[in-house]
Amino acid sequence: MNNNDTQSTIERVVMQRVHLIRALRFAISSGTLSFLVSALALWGIGREVWVAHVLQNAPTNLMDIPQFYFVAFLHTQFIVQLLIVLTIAALLFVAREISRALDFVAAAKNPELI
């Protein structure tokens, strides 16, 4: 009986590690690439736009901020618009990958959910 308990404990530990590796594979492969793309796009935005001036010109009224940034987006160069869209898409993809990895880890902790 003690031997079976040891095997089940070993099996449980090994399976937890397998689940962790699989979850990390999701986060590292495409998530890391997306994070690097978003970081490079932000760097490109910083090279093309004087961000401090944009933030300094932003309105203080919270209700005017979305319109301000939308108009600022429309009046920038095409490359800046492309970099902004790329940054948002990459960050959304990173968030999706993190969510998938967390869901997988949670399911691994509760085997009945798998």
**pLDDT score recorded for residue 1:** 45
Q: What is the mean pLDDT of the chain?
A: 84
Please, are residues 86 and 37 in contact by the beta-carbon 8 Å criterion?
yes
Mean pLDDT over 66-74 rounds to: 94
The residue written with tokens 């308990």 in the block is 5
The answer on pLDDT for 6 being more than 70 is no
**pLDDT score recorded for residue 18:** 85
**pLDDT score recorded for residue 92:** 92
**pLDDT score recorded for residue 19:** 82
Domains identified in the chain, total number: 1
Q: At CB < 8 A and 24+ separation, what contacts does 35-39 make?
A: 35/90, 35/94, 37/86, 37/90, 38/86, 38/87, 38/90, 38/91, 38/94
Mean pLDDT over 43-48 rounds to: 91
The answer on pLDDT for 43 being more than 70 is yes
- Chain segment 83-102, per-residue pLDDT in tens: 999 999 999 988 888 888 78
Q: How far apart are CA 114 and CA 92, in angstroms?
A: 26
pTM above 0.75, yes or no: no
